[in-house]
Copies of this chain bind each other. A is one copy, B any other.
Amino acid sequence: MAPNSASRQSRSEVPEVVINRLPQYVRILNRLLDDGTQVVSSQQLGEKLQVTPAQIRKDLSYFGRFGKQGRGYSVRDLLDRLRQILGINSPWNVAVVGVGRLGRAILSYPGFNPDGFRLVAAFDLSSKVVGETVGGLVVQNMDELDQVVGREKISIAIVAVPVEYTQNVVDQLVACGVRAILNYAPITPQVREGIRIRNIDPVLSLQSMTYYINDE
Known A-B contacts A50-B5, A101-B104, A105-B102; A209 and B198 likewise in contact (beta carbons under 8 Å): yes
Check if A130 is an interface residue, CB within 8 A of chain B: no
Q: Is A51 an interface residue (CB 8 A)?
A: yes
0/1 interface trace, chain A 155-167, chain B, CB 8 Å (1 if under) = 1101000000000
| Contact A213 to B27, CB < 8 A, known contacts A50-B5, A200-B205 | no
Interface assignment of A69: CB less than 8 Å from any CB of chain B: no
Q: How far is the CA of A54 from the CA of B115 in the complex (A)?
A: 40
Neighbouring B residues of A213 by C-beta, 8 Å: 87, 155-156, 179-180, 196
Q: Is the Cβ of B206 less than 8 Å from the Cβ of A156?
A: yes
B205 touches A198 (CB 8 A): yes
- How far does the Cβ of A175 sit from chain B's closest Cβ, in whole Å? 16
Q: Roughly how many angstroms separate A159 CA and B211 CA in the complex, as a whole number?
A: 20
The number of times this chain is found in the oligomer is 2
Q: Which residues of A182-216 have CB atoms within 8 Å of chain B's CB atoms? A: 182, 186, 188, 194, 196, 198, 200, 202-216
Q: Which 9 interchain pairs have the tightest Cβ spacing?
A: A87-B214, A23-B207, A101-B105, A180-B209, A87-B210, A102-B105, A198-B205, A196-B209, A179-B213
Q: List 16 A-B contacts (CB under 8 A).
A: A1-B52, A1-B53, A2-B50, A10-B212, A26-B207, A27-B204, A50-B188, A87-B210, A87-B214, A92-B206, A115-B203, A115-B206, A116-B207, A156-B206, A182-B205, A198-B206
Given contact pairs A88-B207, A196-B213, enumerate 10 new A-B contacts (beta carbons under 8 Å): A1-B53, A3-B52, A4-B52, A22-B211, A27-B186, A86-B207, A115-B207, A117-B206, A180-B213, A198-B209
